[in-house]
Amino acid sequence: MNRQIIRRTVSQQPTGLPQDLHPLLKRLYISRGITHADELDRTLQRLPPASLLSGIDVAVALLAEQLKQGGHILIVADYDADGATSCALAVRALTNMGASQVSYLVPNRFEYGYGLTPEIVDLAAKSKPDLIVTVDNGISSIEGVARANELGIPVLVTDHHLPGRVLPDAAALLNPNLPGDRFPSKHLAGVGVIFYLMLALRSHLREMGWFKQHSIKEPNMADLLDLVALGTVADVVTLDHTNRILVEQGVRRIRAGACCHGITALIEQAKRTPARLVASDLGFAVGPRLNAAGRLEEMSLGIRALLTDSPAEAKQIAQQLDQLNQTRREIEQSMKDQALALLNRLQFESEAALPMGLCLYQPEWHQGVIGILASRVRESHHRPVIAFADAGDGLIKGSARSIPGLHIRDLLDGIATAQPKLLSKFGGHAMAAGLTLALDQFDTFRQLFETAVAKQLTADQLFDRIDSDGELQPSELNIEMAQLLRDAGPWGQNFPEPQFDGDFEVIDSRVVGEKHLKMRLSPVGSSQQIDAIAFNQAEQGAGRGEKIHAAYRLDINEFRGRVSPQLIVEYISSTN
């Protein structure tokens, strides 16, 4: 795969950033589009008001009526970490506000598919709900909402996925991406949307005297920000100002030990220290363990972890989730090996000869892991990838991952418009999407996909761009600078953690954990030395005395109570 290190350019125009801000941080923030001090304010007071969400008043009224009537509110959740945290947040918030009947349903993805399908509504109807509330799904559930309407069950849809041309006929729709919606952040995760709804509901109940009348202690919604932070980071949504506030405040609560027992247990299973947790830990360590339940079995186990008030039960469930995650990783590695072997069998002469978009299918692949597989192949070949698995009844399900410059959902929409009968269903975001089609249409779809991608991408976009914030001086490779960078976050999607590049001499190197390269490096021209690790790059084999150019992040390593600066090396090239 072709890779290029590209240093970010920074405008020297005057900004509204604080004059006493560290020069490096000022440069980093400007390069990420921040030019005013207000954008650095991550207090809750800076959150935009819930009243800007269209449909919020109708949604609040529906919930308030169910609380007054003692109705049964059924939460129907998606089966990923965002769905699990959304569900747990809704159950906890509604229960704390005095709802007498709150339950949840997380459909088995392999049996019922995605979203509020008619089959799921029929299953839900058995529990006789008075209101169905979808979290992190529902905006594309036209047939499912119609079925609920037939049964006389009103549906409140809360979602963040991009809506299609037709909207479901729900009693209320809450989604910042609805046409004409005035909410400034279009990047809320599903858990962010339901959090805002619960904020608005609490305000409404307070105004009507609900808490006083029923002797209920008014809940502090900040107590749920640990769930918001986890779901937001795990769903890899853009960390705009609103999401940075939500994540920052949630991470602070986790560091202070003020989070649910399930998150604490998952952090411990991941061998992280809660007091020093950063946003990336939620994405790379906690989220995958929670997601493992939905990928291999069904997500109710993960939701139980987030709802239990028993530390012992939380620890037990976290251990189960950790084991599921280990199994998931083994399945993923096997599928990745098969995918790369499949590409090799296609006998392309070179990387450049590969189609600009890759469609891969093997009947034995696991539905729950094809999304991760698509991500891994995309990382290996830096081009849009769709991985398919058998879905039964002559259908296959695909999980798509894209690269910058190609909006994958819009591309699928274009194919569906040109060939209305080709896709059974599809949906998603700019960088990720899901779809279903008939197995006998796979080759037709593959050709259409490859053609559509080739029309939208250029050869230059197939280079894996490694963005760098420039070079750090040897004197800056210290624990103080590492802590400064850590505290300047939260970093995440479209607000990337600072990454630098420079020339080093390898003082020592060895392989650890079979696939990671542990090194001791010295900046060229300096006597200073610093530890470094390159994960999953043992094959690089940078030997003692070798000169290398490296793209890296400056981080803090904790080992047996000792903290020290460490470089997390993302890319190595020899300069000898």
Residue spans per domain, the chain: 3-31+469-574, 46-247, 341-463
Q: How far apart are CA 478 and CA 212, in angstroms?
A: 54
Task: Please give the full DSSP string across 489-517, using - where no structure is assigned.
Answer: ---BTTBPPP-EEEEEEEEEEEEETTTEE
- CATH number of this structure's domain 3-31+469-574, picked from the four choices 3.30.420.40, 1.10.1200.120, 2.40.50.460, 3.30.200.20: 2.40.50.460
Question: Cβ(8)–Cβ(470) under 8 Å?
Answer: yes
Over the chain (576 residues), the average pLDDT of each successive run of 10 is 82 80 94 94 97 97 98 94 97 97 85 83 97 96 97 98 93 97 97 98 98 97 98 95 98 97 97 93 95 83 96 97 93 88 65 84 92 90 94 94 93 94 87 93 96 93 90 96 96 96 95 90 95 88 86 92 92 86
Closest CA to 49 of 41, 57, 37, 58: 57
* pLDDT for position 351: 59
Report the chain's C-alpha Rg in angstroms. Answer: 24
* pLDDT for position 14: 65
Look up the CATH number of domain 341-463.
3.10.310.30
For residue range 308-359, what is the model confidence (pLDDT) as tens digits?
Answer: 999 999 999 999 999 999 999 899 899 888 888 887 776 554 556 789 999 9
* pLDDT for position 349: 47
Look up the CATH number of domain 46-247.
3.90.1640.30
**Total number of residues shown for the chain:** 576
Q: Around 68, how many Cα atoms within 13 Å sit in the side-chain half-sphere? A: 12
Q: How far apart are CA 425 and CA 226, in angstroms?
A: 33
Helix (H, G, I), strand (E, B) or coil at 528: coil
Residues facing 538 on adjacent strands: none
* pLDDT for position 429: 78
Helix (H, G, I), strand (E, B) or coil at 510: strand
